Amino acid sequence: MAVFTERGYDSASMELLANRLGITKSAIYHHVTSKEALLALALERAHEGLFAVAEEARSLDAPAVARLKRLVHDSVTVLVRNLPYVTLLLRVRGNTEVERRALERRRELDHLAAELVTEAIADGDLRSDLDPAMVARLLFGLVNSLVEWYRPEPGDTGEPLADAVITMAFDGLVVASPQPDATCAPITPP
Amino acid sequence: MAVFTERGYDSASMELLANRLGITKSAIYHHVTSKEALLALALERAHEGLFAVAEEARSLDAPAVARLKRLVHDSVTVLVRNLPYVTLLLRVRGNTEVERRALERRRELDHLAAELVTEAIADGDLRSDLDPAMVARLLFGLVNSLVEWYRPEPGDTGEPLADAVITMAFDGLVVASPQPDATCAPITPP
DNA sequence: GTCTATACATGGATAGAC
DNA sequence: GTCTATCCATGTATAGAC
């Protein structure tokens, strides 16, 4: 996985993998039938985490915004905890059959996100001046872009990062304006 | 460029490029000395546009937030108009000397963004509860992630897209709360 | 500018001994 | 489970004719 991440799947030759493992190319083929099988295994692992998150967000008993926020938040933590696997998944281009199947499964996740955004807008919880499909893509573009720069320490669950993503995407970067429910209300001392 | 975008630089063989061009591999070498030279040319073109934007944002006579917004906005339009080139740049992993130089130059841009964010926070225009370096990376992660899904029609300048990015990142997705300068002010009829 | 032919290295993968 | 040796396709790149 380290070699795949550093060089990219295509540029990571079996020779290079073997060197890093301290064995020969042919020894690898005792454990796995092909290079592509190695890729399939890794992609499977990435999907596992992401689909678990999607399932949980979907089954949550809460308004669409809340489910969407949960989906975004937990996607970040899964991404952080399975960084090499998710990175590989996100870099797949569809050159082979294995890659195309992975892309299809990713689209299912995109679809769920788009549904939640649409519903949240209908609820009046998200601004209606942006296209729902575009919002969904911007949101997950933001999440997915983390693989390009975030380098977690061992033990990092990505919790603060997930909160930062939620804050920027939902509340924006400009200084906090009063929340709707607090607007113009006098400050009540505790 | 189309082949590079579809298959990735590494997987795009000279044979494949030649087929698409309708000539033979060797004919390509009459125009360019190596495959890597082809990459260098493309990366150069991507940098041109991005650095021009950075220079303009830097030299703007306005508060840091405004310069930052301009940088983000124009980065989106450059990305849209030079999509294949910027896509290639963003997928470079540093496997060769040419790629490493490209990564270094990209870091200069990241640095400028981080400076603007820091300054804007100091000005009190951006929320101070998020790490400036993190904000800069989230912002440009968001911008860069566009190459993964945005497919402009010919003639598309990316203007509405750039506005959407600015809106989401700076104002957030939740329904517009009153702007600070309008807070609690009675609505004035025109 | 383009072609055919070819050089030479490296790619993924297999055979068979230990 | 790992090795050496090897197969064959493909990779980048060059030589030299047209």
Residue at A185 is within a domain: no
Asked if B178 lies within 8 A of A174 by C-beta distance, the reply is: no
pLDDT, position B177: 59
Whole-number average pLDDT of chain A: 93
pLDDT, position B178: 52
Asked if B142 lies within 8 A of A141 by C-beta distance, the reply is: yes
Query: Are B77 and B111 found together in one domain?
Result: yes
Residue at A79 is within a domain: yes
Query: Are B53 and B91 found together in one domain?
Result: yes
How big is the A-B interface in CB pairs under 8 Å? 146
Instruction: Report yes or no: A13 at the B interface, CB cutoff 8 Å.
Output: no
> What is the number of structural domains in chain B?
2
Query: Are A69 and A151 found together in one domain?
Result: yes
User: What confidence tens digit (pLDDT) does each residue in B106-151 have?
Assistant: 999 999 999 999 999 999 999 999 999 999 999 999 999 999 999 9
Measured at the CA of A152, the angle between CA A73 and CA A90, to 5 degrees, comes to 65
User: What confidence tens digit (pLDDT) does each residue in A105-132 have?
Assistant: 999 999 999 999 999 999 999 999 999 9
Query: Are B23 and B93 found together in one domain?
Result: no
Lookup: tokens for B61 = 């006579």
Query: Are B64 and B130 found together in one domain?
Result: yes
Q: Which residue has the tokens 């009153």?
A: B178
Query: Are B65 and B17 found together in one domain?
Result: no
Query: Are A104 and A10 found together in one domain?
Result: no
Query: Are B105 and B65 found together in one domain?
Result: yes
Range B79-99 average pLDDT: 96
Which residue range forms the structural domain that includes residue A111?
A: 43-170
Residue at B115 is within a domain: yes
Range A44-48 average pLDDT: 96
Confidence of residue A182 (pLDDT cuts 50, 70, 90): very low
Question: For a pLDDT cut of 70, what percent of chain B falls above it?
Answer: 93
3-state secondary structure of B123: coil
pLDDT, position B4: 97
If residue A142 lies in a helix (H) or strand (E), which one and from where to where? helix A132-144
pLDDT, position A178: 52
Query: Are B140 and B64 found together in one domain?
Result: yes
pLDDT, position B51: 97
CATH classification at residue A119:
1.10.357.10
Q: Are residues B29 and B17 in contact, defined by beta-carbon separation less than 8 angstroms? A: no
User: What confidence tens digit (pLDDT) does each residue in B143-187 have?
Assistant: 999 999 999 999 999 999 999 999 999 999 999 755 444 444 444
Query: Are A20 and A102 found together in one domain?
Result: no
Query: Are A11 and A93 found together in one domain?
Result: no
Residue at B185 is within a domain: no
Nucleotide nearest to A31 (CA to C1'): D1
Query: Are A145 and A86 found together in one domain?
Result: yes
User: What confidence tens digit (pLDDT) does each residue in A78-87 have?
Assistant: 999 999 999 9
